[in-house]
Amino acid sequence: MNIKVFQSDKGDCILLGSSGRHVLVDGGMAASFAEHVAPALAEMRIAGHRLDKVCVTHIDEDHIAGILSLLEAHVQWKVHDFQHASGNPSFPEPDLPRMPEIGGFWHNSFSDMVGENAVGISEMLASRAALFHLSTLPEAGGIADDYSMLATSVRQAIELRHRISAEQLGIPVNEPADGKLMLLRGRNAAPAKVGKMEFYIIGPAQEDLERLRDEWDDWLRNHTASLAGLQREMARDEGDMGNSVGTGSWFPAAQALDAALKLELDAEIEMRKASSGLGKRSKVTEANLASLMFLVVERTRTRERTVLMTGDGHHLDILRGLEHINRLDQDGNIHVNVLKVQHHGSEHNLDEEFCRRVTADDYLFCGNGKHANPDLRVLQAILDSRIGGPQQLSTNPAAGGPFRFWFNSHHSIVENQEAAEHMQLVEQMMDAVQAANPARFSCEFLTGPFLELAVR
């Protein structure tokens, strides 16, 4: 088994391959897909290969946007070929090259997870983003951006579902689950197979998706009422000031909006206050908690190779899933060949105990410094589990061997200054660790389109 980890901005884009079979997991951002991923996939197609499966772990833009570009290329080439076959040879070629054939999709669509409220949720997210953007309160900007990103992700998820439908590209969806949601199922559930690769689902669980649906329903109901109340308060305040929206007097209207938003903004800020500890599940978004996660196993006559694909999931859910499929040892631990570290190395998605219980030969980090990911505390926690003090070390027998960190970015290829500065801190930290532990630790940073590793 081999792995290509693409440059994907702040997101994930990973290609798993074995004996000529391929599974693309997530697509990163649209621009990075066009620049770095699409050319490699075009070469795959020319070489006669296809994407046996495409997996979208969850709906965040930094995972789904590149996949939408992949599907858009298929749609555009389908239109192009139809036009040429219909006697219109001057119809222009699409910007993206032809992409490989897609054999099937693994994706739990937002509409299937939340039901009939999907469009209402999308519209409410956009409305709240607009409200917070209009506010002059200094704290509102970041919250507005968060709502905007989530609104974009939900809209993209709805678009993706339409693209792969029978009415457009007609790509089979979730065949291992008979077209239903792909979930953690019975303890002896058969894996999904792609060539020699076996994909054991470790998350999400049914109860997580039920909770997700209930939370979104509550959120929509509460914020529908909140928005109506907010509009009434604004109208009252504007009336008291002798102004109304649309009179050309912006500042009184802004003051009315700020006054109406203040309590709600305070509640949002309180809810979003960062914790000083690692691994707080309450800090992980609903979309991330719904990540489709796998343990990938490739068996030969003499051994097996394992890759843990975690999406943006939380460590408690990962451990629960591994226990459910009977992959933890008697001490509740596991050592894998490759761990894709969850959520770009965010501090909210793992803790020190997870690092001791789940160890790997190779750790993959998908993140380019945006949002301070990979988090330096996460890197230190993993390092401590391998080369730290006696109380920090993992008890996994294989954890005493050499290990590598792989990063799909480098400060020299990051345009955002703050993100680039964070990557420099990561690089300096890794240089120091490597110099102090040359026999145990090594690392690689990506400066080209992708890095490639053979699963050892």
Tell me the pLDDT tens digit for each residue of 412-425.
999 999 999 999 99
- Dihedral (CA of 195, 200, 203, 205) sign: positive
pLDDT greater than 90 at residue 71: yes
Residues in the chain, overall count: 456
- 338-361 burial: b if 16+ Cβ within 10 Å, else e: bbbbbbbbbbbbbbbbbbbbbbbb
How large is the average pLDDT for residues 92-103?
96
Q: According to the model, what pLDDT value does residue 140 have?
A: 72
> Any bridge partners for residue 25, and if so which?
14, 55
pLDDT higher than 50, residue 365: yes
Percent residues over pLDDT 70 in the chain: 88
Q: In this predicted structure, what is the pLDDT of residue 123? A: 82
Across 75-79, 119-123, 228-232, 275-279, the highest mean pLDDT is recorded for: 75-79
Q: Which tens digits make up the pLDDT trace of 108-125? A: 988 888 877 888 888 888
pLDDT of the residue at 238: 46
Domain ranges of the chain: 111-173+206-270, 288-454
DSSP string, 184-218: ---TTPPPEEETTEEEEEEE--HHHHHHHHHHHHH
5 membership: H or E segment, kind and range: strand 2-6
- The pLDDT value recorded for residue 241 is 46
Interacting residues of 438 by C-beta distance below 8 A, sequence separation 6+: none
Tokens of 82: 């139809």
List Cα–Cα distances, 371 to 26, 104, 230, 360, 427, in angstroms.
19, 33, 31, 25, 16
Distant-in-sequence, close-in-space partners of 304: CB < 8 Å, separation ≥ 6: 297, 298
Q: What one-character DSSP code corresponds to residue 98?
A: P
CA dihedral 303, 305, 306, 307 (to 10 degrees): 180
Q: What is the pLDDT of residue 246?
A: 47
pLDDT of the residue at 208? 84
Burial class for 10, CB neighbours closer than 10 Å (0-12, 13-18, 19+): buried
Residue 49 or residue 240, greater confidence: 49
Calpha distance 87→370 (Å, rounded): 48
| Peptide bond between residue 374 and the one before it cis (omega within 30 degrees of 0) | yes
End-to-end CA, the chain: 8
- The pLDDT of residue 227 is 53
The dihedral built from the CA positions of residue 172, 216, 12 and 318, taken in this order, carries a sign that is negative
Cα separation of 47 and 327, whole Å? 36
Q: Is the pLDDT of residue 232 over 60?
A: no
Confirm if 29 and 61 have CB atoms less than 8 A apart. yes
